[in-house]
Structure 1
Amino acid sequence: MKAYWQLTLAQLRIFARNPQVLFFTLLFPIILMLALGSFLGNSGGTSIYMAVVDHDGSTASKQLLSTLSENDAIQLDKSSDVNEALDELKNNEYQVVMEIPEGYGDQLQSHTDESKAFDLPVYYNETDASASQLGLTVVESAVDQVSKNIENYSPVVAVQPEGVRALDLGYIDFLVPGIVAMMIMNNNMNGVAGQISAWRERGILRRMQGTRLKASTFIAAQITARVILNGLQALLVLMVASLLFQVQVNGSWLALLTFVVLGTLAFMAIGFIIAGLAKNPESAGPIAAFASFPMLFLGGVFFSINTMPEYLQPIVHILPISHLSTALRETMNVGTPFFDLWTHWLTLAAWLVGAFIIASRTFKWE
């Protein structure tokens, strides 16, 4: 146990005494977050994915759909089941769902100045706040045009918006969990691969093997030091995001910490595999970069994985970083309970076990 704590403290001192390590592990993610958050802030995409459930099927409802489809910012889909459309809304496939009830056309034909405006249910996904608000604006403009087309204009149709997830989120809320996931990947997969390869080339691992030090103690100390480092860095990123951008953690801090630890272990295991395959530190870096670079764009760090092309979806849903970023985002933004995210922590655990089995076979002291 004494050797374990000494190795853990030694690893933390190595981090603290290397200015480059401190910069890239602590300051770089914060600088990246500040840059993207300042430029993009709460902005979102310009394409609105919208589903319409037309129960009326009248000429008036078709004219409303035609008005909506003329807007280039809207990707309009027709659905026959409102519950199915709402399920897809909750899964972030749509930002807005509009329901046209029966009697819509008759109400417009019989409307008088004394008539009450027809309520048109419109559901929006507040997890994607900017796109949803833009969608509501477009819908309100379209139904207002319907009213203006009636002689002696008075409100004929009134939008009744209903939030499916009562959250006030912007792009920065989407970005911060992705930054934390990127940090965990870089610190552990790239960091472990480079450090272990360098220690092997300098003979440090060989000298450790010649002592009574057990491999399990060495690995446990590495894990502990990196879990502490990642936990402190995640806390620092969240503090800066909270102070400057008012980003909040809506879910359980314990669940958030659990995913940080799971992500750390999974990417450490992958880093040990790369260190075992690399012949020297010079080759470890490019191998780690070759593995990590695609994950930055396919793992939901900066962009939603739902917007990825269909042919990439099977690959995206296998990557560990996509599950880590999604789990962190669901925990922070939506407050989803830990056990409801079982697919994500189970996938990360599978990567952890599988990668450590492979790492145990590829790891070399010399």
Structure 2
Amino acid sequence: MARMSLDTETIPDTAPPKGRAFLSLFKALGRGWLRDRSQVFFTILLPLMFMVLLSSVFGSTGDSASRILAVGDVPVLEGADADDFDVASAPDLDKALALLREGEADAAVVQDGDTVLVYPSPTSSTSGAIAAGNLSALVDDVNVEVLSAAAPGEPVLRTEVEEADGGSLRPIQYLAPGILAWGIAISGVFGAAGTIVDWKRDKLLRRLRLTPASVSTFLGAKVSVNLVVAIAQTAVFLAVAALGFGLELSAWTWFAAPLVLLGTLAFLAIGVVIGGIAKTSPGAAGLSNLVTMPMAFISGAFFPLALSPEWVQTLSYLSPMRYLNEALQSVVVYGEPPTAVLPQIGFLAVFAAVVALISWKTFKFDEL
């Protein structure tokens, strides 16, 4: 048999350019994602289901008045709008606090001279925070009216809120950014962890070494698909929240896009670490749940952090979901410019870089 010549100059170069390989992989992975019903459910439908559920629980579909317990004489409530406040009387503070614990009211109010003390409900965190915010806004309105009729000076009333947070928000205004941040987290962590386990099981990355497309091109296409999905997820979520639940979007809402992209990179890095540890798909799912669910509860995604125990508030500073939630709420709800969320952006960027470095150093392409 004649020997085949191995002269490389006579062998045509059939390897596709990197750009063409990347585009082909991007399209193939994108079609694969669309065909995976579980991915679509966890990424798009599950966050929307949580928004519907929590919004219904906290009464966001209506403009119900905050239930307020007035302890003693509270002159500031004399100017309260009946559409915003449903005021009842309590004989003393101990009785008012007991009623709050039983869920009979959203907040209790005591006025001591020029100080208005507000006690939010400990059993209904979000409605308590909203009631506290609305009472603070009422005090501000009273101060404006007084100052407009007298010489300018310090406000005659001041508000002290015990362990309250959230501002003057309707429930959907508070819930939407947190649920979106949680949705981005589960999409990134679950998607990356499950995919990595499947790749290791099928020895896909090792096989890629035998193809013209490099491993880096393949991973880049996969990350790009996840980023596109995150933007689509954000657009759908905010559109449903605005059109179906009355979420008021600020002029800076567009900046949610780069925030979501940065957050997605951070959670993808976590997912890669989990995928490197897990041996099976169920194991990857369990570890992903073990990370994302506690993270949601310590990050203020479902209720105000200020109403959480002090140890939870301290632990939340380690969670990337907290910073994504805060940044989204600032630009989407409060209308603050990007400069106001630079600390959150910095944390997410550093977190993504550090965890990505850890995943790169510890990742193994195949199961041993």
Structure 1 length-normalised TM: 0.69
Counterpart-to-counterpart distance in 1, 2:292 and 2:133: 32
1:72 aligns with 2:73: no
Counterpart-to-counterpart distance in 1, 2:336 and 2:108: 19
Paired residue secondary structure (1:270): helix
Number of residues of Structure 1 aligned to a counterpart in Structure 2 = 293
1:131 aligns with 2:109: no
Hey, what does 1:83 align to over in structure 2?
none
Hey, what does 1:36 align to over in structure 2?
54
Would the alpha carbon gap of residues 136 and 285 (structure 1) be closer, same or farther in structure 2, given more than 3 Å must change? closer
Hey, what does 1:6 align to over in structure 2?
24
Paired residue secondary structure (1:72): helix
Paired residue secondary structure (2:212): coil
Q: 1:247: Cα distance to partner?
A: 0.3
1:187 aligns with 2:205: no
Counterpart-to-counterpart distance in 2, 1:203 and 1:47: 62
Question: More displaced, 202-211 or 224-233?
Answer: 202-211
Paired residue secondary structure (1:31): helix
CA contact (8 A) 2:43 2:184 kept: no
Residue pairs, 1:276-315, within 5 angstroms: 276-315=276-315
CA contact (8 A) 1:301 1:325 kept: yes
Hey, what does 1:16 align to over in structure 2?
34
Long gaps (5+) in structure 2: 1-18, 70-89, 99-106, 119-127, 142-155, 160-166
Would the alpha carbon gap of residues 137 and 339 (structure 1) be closer, same or farther in structure 2, given more than 3 Å must change? closer
Hey, what does 1:214 align to over in structure 2?
214
Percentage of identical aligned residues: 29
Amino acid at match of 1:338: P
Counterpart-to-counterpart distance in 2, 1:6 and 1:130: 53
Counterpart-to-counterpart distance in 2, 1:96 and 1:256: 36
Q: 1:330: Cα distance to partner?
A: 1.5
Would the alpha carbon gap of residues 216 and 346 (structure 1) be closer, same or farther in structure 2, given more than 3 Å must change? same
1:257 aligns with 2:257: yes
Would the alpha carbon gap of residues 95 and 212 (structure 1) be closer, same or farther in structure 2, given more than 3 Å must change? farther
Residue pairs, 1:312-323, within 5 angstroms: 312-323=312-323
Hey, what does 2:44 align to over in structure 1?
26
Counterpart-to-counterpart distance in 2, 1:279 and 1:191: 15
Would the alpha carbon gap of residues 10 and 348 (structure 1) be closer, same or farther in structure 2, given more than 3 Å must change? same
Amino acid at match of 1:230: A
Paired residue secondary structure (1:229): helix
CA offsets 1:200-237 (integer angstroms, 9 cap, x no match): 10122221132233333222212211111111111111
Amino acid at match of 1:72: A
CA offsets 1:149-172 (integer angstroms, 9 cap, x no match): xxxxxxxxxx9799xxxx862111
Would the alpha carbon gap of residues 307 and 129 (structure 1) be closer, same or farther in structure 2, given more than 3 Å must change? closer
Q: Which segments of structure 1 move beyond 4 Å, counting only runs of 4 or more?
A: 43-48, 66-71, 94-101, 120-123, 134-140, 159-162
Long gaps (5+) in structure 1: 49-65, 75-93, 102-119, 141-158
Question: More displaced, 294-303 or 242-251?
Answer: 242-251
Amino acid at match of 1:315: L
CA offsets 1:248-300 (integer angstroms, 9 cap, x no match): 22251342111100110000111111111222323222222211121121111
CA offsets 1:111-168 (integer angstroms, 9 cap, x no match): xxxxxxxxx9999xxx95433335788999xxxxxxxxxxxxxxxxxx9799xxxx86
Counterpart-to-counterpart distance in 1, 2:112 and 2:215: 62
- Alignment root-mean-square deviation, CA: 3.9
Q: 1:39: Cα distance to partner?
A: 2.8
Hey, what does 1:340 align to over in structure 2?
340
Question: More displaced, 284-293 or 318-327?
Answer: 284-293
CA contact (8 A) 1:128 1:170 kept: no
Counterpart-to-counterpart distance in 2, 1:253 and 1:325: 13
Q: 1:308: Cα distance to partner?
A: 1.6
CA contact (8 A) 2:189 2:268 kept: yes
Hey, what does 1:61 align to over in structure 2?
none
Structure 2 length-normalised TM: 0.69
Counterpart-to-counterpart distance in 1, 2:68 and 2:293: 27
Counterpart-to-counterpart distance in 1, 2:333 and 2:313: 23
Q: 1:361: Cα distance to partner?
A: 1.0
Counterpart-to-counterpart distance in 2, 1:259 and 1:288: 22
Would the alpha carbon gap of residues 350 and 131 (structure 1) be closer, same or farther in structure 2, given more than 3 Å must change? same
Residue pairs, 1:119-198, within 5 angstroms: 129-133=130-134, 169-198=169-198
Hey, what does 1:271 align to over in structure 2?
271
Hey, what does 1:88 align to over in structure 2?
none
Counterpart-to-counterpart distance in 2, 1:293 and 1:9: 32
Counterpart-to-counterpart distance in 2, 1:207 and 1:26: 32
Amino acid at match of 2:132: A
CA contact (8 A) 1:29 1:183 kept: yes
